[in-house]
Amino acid sequence: EVSVSELGLGYESDETVLFRYCSGTCEAAVRSYDLSLKSMRSRRKIRKEKIRARPCCRPLAYDDDVSFLDAYNRYYTVNELSAKECGCV
């Protein structure tokens, strides 16, 4: 559980929400694309540093939307916040 303010979305609220996240390695999900991208980067055919040549663990589905009141009594709803199902993408 974390406060809405701790989520870093710009809302000021002491209300707490359950934040589920994904973690883990995805070595078993490596495909031809990933191997080719890694090879192209090592040969400096692709120079962008932010490109990753391996799959990452990310949410595939999300829990229900989260609604809360902020510190100014305004009501907000945030979707796609807490992971319900994770997988390699």
CB distance 26 to 56 below 8 Å: yes
pLDDT digit string (tens) for 1-11? 999 999 999 99
Which comes out higher in pLDDT, residue 77 or 30? Answer: 77
pLDDT tens digits along 19-42: 999 998 887 777 888 888 888 877
Domain boundaries, the chain: 1-86
pTM metric for this prediction:
0.72
CATH number of the 1-86 domain: 2.10.90.10
CA distances for 7 relative to 20, 48, 72, angstroms: 12, 29, 17
Considering only residues 28 and 53, tell me which one the structure prediction assigns the higher pLDDT: 28
